[in-house]
Amino acid sequence: MFTDFTFENLDLGEVVPRVRHGGRGPAVLLLHGHPRTHTTGHRPAPWLAETHTVVCPDLRGYGQSSKPRTDDDHEPCSKRRMAADCLEPMRRLGHETFHVVGHDRGGYVATRLALDHPSAVTHLTALDVVPIGEALSRCDANFATRWWHWFFRAQPSPGPETVINNNLSLWYRATPEDMGQESWQDLQLALSDPRTIHAMCEDYRAGLGIDRRHDEDQAAGRRVRCPTLVLWATKSDLPLLYEDIRGIWQTWVAGEVTAKGIDSGHHVAEEAPGKLAEELLKAWPSAEPVRGGEREAGS
């Protein structure tokens, strides 16, 4: 994985994120979702690194990044705090401005980065998500049935953590064939640490509370100001929950939203890395689209 990339643990004081970075050209920050680590980006990264400097961190609490303290408001695992975690490493690596691509929980962090730090984020790509505030305001029986895990993981500690730690293989069923052997092993190492399970539950607790309050910024008139690309997996739950994904995002973005589905399951970077890289590079004016056949998808 990540041939010719540099590996670092960056000491930010409160947290120490694990980061890989490599490539050349304008910077792009790839943010993973739950329960993955930064290694979920190892398949599309080679395409992107041909024309961009690619930075892949573990979000705070995930993977081998340090685990944050917890409090009653779950603020240390808020997307605002996670976004700030991402901003500082980019600056330390010499990137004052950058594209950000966020999948799943990382999509919420990416959106918060674009809202809170508009001078840094030049392009936003959200993968298989709508904003947390939108999901909760539209919550119905269909959402609660399909995404019941939001509400389970947000229950008070240590209830969810105890249940999950008692049967990790039931909760996390990814295989080496799905992810690649090295990426799968990295995930297993992360999940074997009860502190990671707790931090991930704190992420969901923050989602139902403080993150939702932060998303009320949109109702007050704040908008994403940079070019925004929204991609969703056609074989995931998202198109079953929302008829107009682009329309939902358009209320959050000042300019025009570009949006389309990708023929994939939820974990797009693992299942359709070539198509994902192609769509990203098409959306970024500084890069040429990937030419078909140059790499085998999934390699």
Query: Which structural domain range is residue 187 located in?
Result: 6-283
Q: What's residue 185's pLDDT?
A: 98
pLDDT surpasses 80 at 286: no
**Catalytically active residues, by annotation:** 104, 266
Which CATH number belongs to the domain containing residue 224 in this structure?
Answer: 3.40.50.1820
pLDDT in tens, 97-155: 999 999 999 999 999 999 999 999 999 999 999 999 999 999 999 999 999 999 999 99
Confidence band of 180 (pLDDT split at 50, 70, 90): very high
Q: Is residue 290 part of a domain?
A: no
Q: What is the pLDDT of residue 14?
A: 85
| 291 part of a folded domain | no
**Helix H or strand E segment including 132:** helix 132-137
Phi, psi of 261 (to 5 degrees): -90, 150
Q: Do the domain assignments include residue 19?
A: yes
Mean pLDDT across the stretch 272-277? 98
Question: Is there a domain that residue 253 lies in?
Answer: yes
In a domain, 293, yes or no: no
In tens, the pLDDT along 49-89 reads 999 999 999 999 999 999 999 999 999 999 999 999 999 99
Answer yes or no: is 298 within a domain: no
pLDDT above 50: residue 198: yes
| Average pLDDT of the chain, as a whole number | 93
Residue 218 inside a domain? The answer is yes
Confidence of residue 291 (pLDDT cuts 50, 70, 90): very low
Determine if the peptide bond prior to 35 is cis (ω within 30°).
yes
Is the previous residue joined to 239 through a cis bond, with omega within 30 degrees of 0? no
Per-residue pLDDT, 295: 34
The gap from C-alpha 227 to its chain's centroid, in whole angstroms, comes to 18
The number of folded domains in the chain is 1
Tell me how far apart the alpha carbons of residues 62 and 73 are, in angstroms, rounded to a whole number. Answer: 19
Task: Decide if 292 is inside a domain.
Answer: no
Average pLDDT of the residues in 246-257: 97
DSSP secondary structure letter of residue 224: B
